[in-house]
Amino acid sequence: MPLFRNMQLIMGRLTSYIQQNIIAMKTVRIFRREKDVVDGFKEVEDIYVNTAITAGKIQSVYMPLGPAILTLGIALVYVYAGYTLGIPGSALAVAQVGEIILFARYMMRLTFPIRDVSQTLGTWIAAYAGLERVLEITDAPRSVEDLPSAKDTKIEKGKLELKNVTFGYVKNRPVLNNVTFTVQPGEKIAILGATGSGKSSLIYLIPRFYDVQAGSIRIDGIDIREFKLASLRQQIGVVLQDVFLFSGTIKENIAFGKPDASMDEIVQAAKSARIHAFIESLPCGYDTPVGERGVTLSGGQKQRITIARALVGNPRILIMDDSLSFVDAKTEQEIQSAIEEAAKTRTTLIIAQRFSTIKTAKKILVLENGSVAEFGTHDELIAKNGVYKKVYETQFVQKASPILGEAGGA
């Protein structure tokens, strides 16, 4: 059993190695690492082959062992019977030869069931080793579960409150520390901060991808842990920075979060994401296959489809994790206008790096080292002369000044 379990582990490594190098094929070619990738595959493959050969040798011994022993027994019956029949006055001398043959035939008929049991046992051992690996994942304790008191609760207004929220992926190493702020229904909040400040971790807590370690998150005054997970996530639309599309049609990808969505709802969501015109221009329209991970689409097109996917369920809270990073200025402006329209009836949180996104927000939340450094409107934060003003001046004012200088000189 340990040998077959080891085979499954090695097969997992081999499959993972193949998958990651197929996905990263462009990177492999850019850095001319094709030979290293092939050598790495052969190294893992050799380990698997050697282990499989060892397992095959063991199987080749124990699988035919049962039938071989029984066949040897049959031969011994014939030898013993023949020898005994030749002795005058023996007990078997008066026995009918047919009875001896019948007994041997019965023994022979046992050979096939024993052989089948040996083969089945070998298959069962290999299957059980694979099942153990599957159960390690399926039976692993989930970090987020529905509480016994959790209910299907409808979000009526969308008021979001975070109070003294502390969270970390590793114990005693908080990513967020004592975060407190409130978003009123219908407000659009921009979240700004350096890399590693906890922006993505913060928005992952709202649909309960993780649970807070201290403090609370409330929607309309109700702790999100009192919501059933399915109910909570159904009413929160999330557009992640890592764009992912499934190998299906555009329609299926947009309706992924709401499989029963009507065609009108799908089209409306696509229009809001400013992708409808492009989809209509395709030969198969909404039935166009996108390929694995959306390989047939550009980065901006994939991102707009994921935005449509978040909007199709008409969520009360919309979360966007820097989801405009792959679109050009014109497309960004079109999506911004659509988001502005959609944000009128829902609470919206946007992780933003571009000032064009930040300036349209009602308020701006500035994170620094996992804590709230500043929170307020653009004018309020500029007046504070703090972190936000420094970021604004270094990232936006200085970038704009050369262009303005050229324009002035002209």
111-138 helix and 34-62 helix, angle to the nearest 10 degrees: 140
Residue 267: band (very low, low, confident or very high) from pLDDT cuts 50, 70, 90: very high
Q: What's the CA gap between 24 and 310, in Å, rounded?
A: 27
Other CB atoms within 10 A of residue 178 CB: 14
Between 280 and 56, whose confidence is greater?
A: 280
User: In Å, how far from its chain's centre is CA 1?
Assistant: 30
pLDDT the model gives residue 410? 34
Other CB atoms within 10 A of residue 304 CB: 30
Q: What's the CA gap between 286 and 249, in Å, rounded?
A: 7
- pTM, two decimal places: 0.69
Q: Is residue 381 pLDDT above 50, yes or no? A: yes
Other CB atoms within 10 A of residue 370 CB: 21
Domain extents in the chain: 2-62, 65-138, 160-409
Q: What's the CA gap between 15 and 130, in Å, rounded?
A: 14
Residue 409: band (very low, low, confident or very high) from pLDDT cuts 50, 70, 90: very low
E strand spans, 284-400: 317-321, 347-351, 363-368, 371-376
pLDDT the model gives residue 407? 38
Q: What's the CA gap between 357 and 332, in Å, rounded?
A: 9
pLDDT the model gives residue 408? 38
Q: Which of 59-68, 127-136, 214-223 has the highest mean pLDDT?
A: 214-223
The candidate with the shortest Cα–Cα distance to 14, out of 35, 34, 43, is 43
Q: What's the CA gap between 349 and 188, in Å, rounded?
A: 6
Q: What's the CA gap between 153 and 174, in Å, rounded?
A: 30
Name the fold adopted by 160-409.
Answer: Rossmann fold (3.40.50)
